[in-house]
Amino acid sequence: MRRLLLTLRYDGTHYHGWQVQPGVVTVQQVLQDAIQSVTGVRAGVIGCSRTDSGVHANMFCCTFDTESTVPIERMPLALNQHLPPDVAVYRCEEVALDFHPRYLAQGKRYCYHIWNDPCRNPFWDRYALRRTGRLDEQLLNRAAAAFVGTHDFAAFCAAGADTAAEDTVRTVSKAEVKRDGKLVTFTVEADGFLYNMVRIMVGTLLDIAAGALPPDAIETALETGRREDAGFTAPALGLFLEKVYYEEGKTDAEKTSS
Amino acid sequence: MRRLLLTLRYDGTHYHGWQVQPGVVTVQQVLQDAIQSVTGVRAGVIGCSRTDSGVHANMFCCTFDTESTVPIERMPLALNQHLPPDVAVYRCEEVALDFHPRYLAQGKRYCYHIWNDPCRNPFWDRYALRRTGRLDEQLLNRAAAAFVGTHDFAAFCAAGADTAAEDTVRTVSKAEVKRDGKLVTFTVEADGFLYNMVRIMVGTLLDIAAGALPPDAIETALETGRREDAGFTAPALGLFLEKVYYEEGKTDAEKTSS
């Protein structure tokens, strides 16, 4: 028995997120189907994260156990032949049998893209939120700096989540906003993320930009821990899981993500 | 009567190029349909270029004449409501009645993208040629330098084109190859392009990379002017019209392309 770590990309537009759910199509399900087609055995796949419906990934890691004799260097192409066009594996490596892609993840990087123009862009419509009013990316970048550090992010967690039962303290190591032409991108790295955390961070930044929240709204929300002091939940389509970090030596996955 | 210059983007995957042809869908046709919906009048649209079937554009310019009283600043959004998701206008301005978007174009920039990995990429599959063997982008960049200058590009013109009747001398001001992770991009600027010229340039570079042509194949082909001394015609999907240049003061189009 070997444990294989797969690294993949997917366009989440047509998926109800990662995790298998009855009656809808998920990335985990199409991947499990592809693994069954290649190895002949139905294996459970464990993901690094439970991305929401509509969220995309440029680097998503997951593991499964197999007795298959397919050489690991041929596994990505073999799986891709059985995967739909919007999901593609680009790496496969053997890891220790106790390797867990979620528990061992030391950190993740997400990007959220905003197309800052009233006119549609055919190449970004599925991957960026469109906002008409000119965004001041320097103001947003200054505001985003308040996320950096170890804070209780309870206010940046979906109201439905059971925050009382969970530790909502996370350490954000990077939070910045950059502009490239009409594309404004929020990049955030942390040791972990709460449910909807990045999307609420983005909604809060956009509410600050629009004057719906004061410039120090992030500090206030971090202090009070109240969901209502943070901004709206930005839609899923602009969100990409960009990178998953593991302890050096456990995997080579992050070396080949671009 | 006013002459309006539109600047647009399109994903060319599902179009038989720019120019109206019977029995197939073209970008010119869907644009003329949208103009008719907005202005109530069928107008002929003149494009800056006749892009091939499957070629994309981040900046394409075209003009039409109209008596419409729709304010020009509202024209892009009005047209976009009647255009399919893969075509979008992002600028409209009034130009002189003798402005011709093809004759007055002083130059154009094209990019050709190559995804240099055996594994598919869901975000680039429609916009980049996939090549498995590792490409040496520095070697390609050195080879591409031979394109720069004023040359007879007869060898880099589709065999079917009537090169005898046409002046095949063009001036290339930029030709470079750069890598960003697994994405290798060829960028070329010239005062004009022959039929399939960029795609044959790319095919020649890839044939040189693969050893199917010698490193000095570009110089040879420029000298002989024989199509068979150049490389294959790379497929359309990786090709983007990126920029159209007009004489300063004639239009503001290029100021707002990103």
Q: For residue range B81-94, what is the model confidence (pLDDT) as tens digits?
A: 999 999 999 999 99
C-beta of residue B162 within 8 angstroms of C-beta of residue B146: no
pLDDT tens, per residue, chain A with 258 residues: 999 999 999 999 999 999 999 999 999 999 999 999 999 999 999 999 988 999 999 999 999 999 999 999 999 999 999 999 999 999 999 999 999 999 999 999 999 999 999 999 999 999 999 999 999 999 999 999 999 999 999 999 987 766 566 799 999 999 999 999 999 999 999 999 999 999 999 999 999 999 999 999 999 999 999 999 999 999 999 999 999 999 877 777 665 444
Q: In this structure, is the dihedral angle defined by the CA atoms of residues B113, B119, B120 and B124, taken in order, positive or negative?
A: negative
Buried b (16+ CB within 10 A) or exposed e, B212-227: ebeeebbeebbeebeb
Residues 41-60 of B with CB under 8 A from A: 58
B60 has a pLDDT exceeding 80: yes
Report how far residue B140's alpha carbon sits from residue B207's, in angstroms, rounded to the nearest whole number. Answer: 10
Residue B65 CB coordination number (10 Å) = 15
Q: Out of A10, A122, A182, name the one closest to residue B122 (CB).
A: A10
Is B77 close to A125, i.e. CB distance below 8 A? Answer: no
In this structure, the strands spanning B56-66 and B239-246 are parallel
> How much is the pLDDT for A125?
96
Residues in a beta bridge with A92? A6
> How much is the pLDDT for B65?
97
B17 has a pLDDT exceeding 50: yes
Domains and CATH numbers, chain A: 2-103 (3.30.70.580), 106-241 (3.30.70.660)
Q: Which of B79, B7, B3 is nearest to B49 (CA)?
A: B7
Q: Does A72 touch chain B (CB under 8 A)?
A: no
- CA distance to partner chain B, nearest, from residue A207 (Å): 24
Quote the longest CA-to-CA distance of chain B.
59
Q: For residue range B121-134, what is the model confidence (pLDDT) as tens digits?
A: 999 999 999 999 99
pLDDT average, residue stretch B206-216: 95
B79 has a pLDDT exceeding 70: yes
B254 has a pLDDT exceeding 70: no
Q: Tokens 């995997």, residue? A: A251
Mutation target to probe the B interface, by most B beta carbons within 10 A, among A30, A75, A119 is: A119
| B168 secondary structure, DSSP code | -
Confidence class of residue B258 from pLDDT cuts 50, 70 and 90?
Answer: very low
Q: Least CA distance to A8: which residue of chain B?
A: B121
3-state secondary structure A112-137: EEEECCCCCCCCCCCCCEECCCCCCH
Q: So what's the ipTM on this one?
A: 0.90
Q: Does A10 touch chain B (CB under 8 A)?
A: yes
- CA distance to partner chain B, nearest, from residue A127 (Å): 10
Report how far residue B11's alpha carbon sits from residue B126's, in angstroms, rounded to the nearest whole number. Answer: 9
Q: Which of B77, B108, B72 is nearest to B257 (CA)?
A: B108
Compute CA distances A190 → A35, A233, A243, B1, whole Å: 31, 19, 11, 58
Is A90 close to B125, i.e. CB distance below 8 A? Answer: no
Is B77 close to A117, i.e. CB distance below 8 A? Answer: no
Report how far residue A107's alpha carbon sits from residue A246's, in angstroms, rounded to the nearest whole number. Answer: 7
Q: Provide the H-helix boundaries in B145-237.
A: 197-209, 217-224
Q: Which residues of B are catalytic?
A: 52
Q: Out of B76, B123, B181, name the one closest to residue A11 (CB).
A: B123
B163 has a pLDDT exceeding 60: no
Q: For all residues of chain B together, what is the average pLDDT?
A: 94
C-beta of residue B28 within 8 angstroms of C-beta of residue B50: no
Chain B residues near residue A79 by CB distance under 8 angstroms: none
> How much is the pLDDT for B165?
61
HSE, side-chain direction, 13 A CA sphere, residue B83: 27
Both tokens assigned to B257: 């392309």
Is B85 close to A182, i.e. CB distance below 8 A? Answer: no
| A236 secondary structure, DSSP code | G
Q: Out of B9, B121, B122, name the one closest to residue A121 (CB).
A: B9
